[in-house]
């Protein structure tokens, strides 16, 4: 049995005890009212939380959309400070005095013409290899006037995407390569009309004896293949060597030409 507070009284004698009803009924009614108010407040709080979460998500989405439409602020791949630092490093290397500004300018043009896309200038070549590289280089050197600047440009014409690596890590090799390329370009600078037919024949792979057979052997040697190699083997070897000797990646233009001619020669006989 439970205790009913409405029947409680503090009088000691039973006949004097009074039944408590009005106050307890009012308290119970007030308690029910408070409970309903609490439930109502909880619902309102939940609605406010949901609204706040929705607004927060909306602001986040707006920021995300705004960031997507904003142009990406990428740091340039080449800066004027880097060009200056590279030029100073090259000028301290052995063989620097052998480089000539005019010869470097001509070397850049020769390397561009000997590249896979001979109709492109240096900026276009570099941008095709790595988007933005050529544009950033031209922005860093808007108008080359010094030998240091031309040497940096020649290094990019020679090594392509790997230029920054070589300029940072081995400037001595860069000077050595530029000096050799400059000398080679100077020695071989002749117009087409001055080139004799004997010179053109000497660029072939044969030596004049049994030309067709010797050219086949030379083509196989250039691609590192044996007689009877399949077409798939020829293509795989060609792709591997092209990546290795591509002028835009720092390879030799002469070797690259030999690889292409050897590939064409072998395809005709497969």
**What pLDDT score was predicted for residue 73?**
62
Contact predicate 81/141, CB 8 Å: no
Q: What is the pLDDT of residues 224-261, one digit of tens each?
A: 888 888 888 888 888 888 778 777 666 777 787 788 78
**What pLDDT score was predicted for residue 6?**
52
CATH topology of domain 206-269: Helix Hairpins (1.10.287)
Q: What is the pLDDT of residues 171-194, one digit of tens each?
A: 998 999 898 887 665 555 544 444
Report the interhelical angle of 147-159 vs 171-187 (nearest 10°): 90
Comparing C-alpha atoms, which of 266, 251, 268, 257 is closest to residue 221?
266
**What pLDDT score was predicted for residue 244?**
80
- Taking the chain (270 residues) in consecutive chunks of 10 residues, what is each chunk's mean pLDDT? 53 56 71 85 86 78 68 79 95 92 90 77 88 92 93 91 89 90 62 42 37 65 86 87 75 78 75
**What pLDDT score was predicted for residue 209?**
36
**Domain chopping of the chain, boundaries:** 28-69, 80-189, 206-269
Instruction: Produce one character per residue of 122-158: b if its CB has 16 or more CB atoms within 10 Å, e if not.
Output: bbebbbbbeeebbbbbbebbeebeebbbbbbbbbbbb
Contact predicate 163/249, CB 8 Å: no
């Amino acid at each position: 049995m439970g205790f009913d507070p409405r029947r409680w009284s503090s009088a000691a004698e039973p006949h004097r005890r009074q039944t408590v009803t009005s106050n307890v009924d009012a308290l119970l009614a007030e308690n029910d009212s408070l409970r309903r108010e609490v439930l109502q407040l909880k619902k309102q709080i939940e609605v406010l939380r949901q609204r706040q979460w929705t607004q927060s998500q909306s602001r986040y989405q707006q920021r995300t959309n705004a960031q997507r439409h904003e142009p990406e602020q990428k740091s340039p791949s080449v800066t004027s400070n880097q060009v200056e630092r590279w030029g100073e490093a090259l000028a301290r290397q052995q063989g620097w005095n052998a480089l000539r500004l005019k010869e470097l300018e001509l070397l850049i043009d020769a390397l561009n013409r000997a590249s896979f896309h001979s109709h492109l200038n240096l900026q276009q070549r570099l941008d095709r290899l790595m988007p933005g590289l050529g544009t950033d280089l031209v922005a860093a050197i808007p108008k080359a006037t010094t030998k240091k600047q031309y040497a940096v440009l020649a290094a990019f014409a020679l090594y392509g995407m790997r230029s920054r690596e070589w300029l940072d890590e081995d400037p001595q090799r860069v000077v050595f390569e530029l000096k050799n390329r400059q000398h080679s370009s100077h020695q071989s600078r002749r117009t087409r009309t001055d080139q004799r037919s004997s010179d053109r024949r000497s660029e072939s792979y044969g030596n004049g004896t049994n030309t067709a057979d010797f050219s086949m052997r030379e083509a196989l040697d250039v691609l590192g293949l044996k007689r009877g190699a399949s077409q798939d083997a020829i293509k795989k070897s060609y792709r591997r060597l092209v990546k290795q000797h591509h002028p835009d990646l720092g390879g030799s233009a002469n070797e690259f030409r030999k690889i292409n001619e050897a590939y064409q020669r072998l395809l005709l006989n497969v």
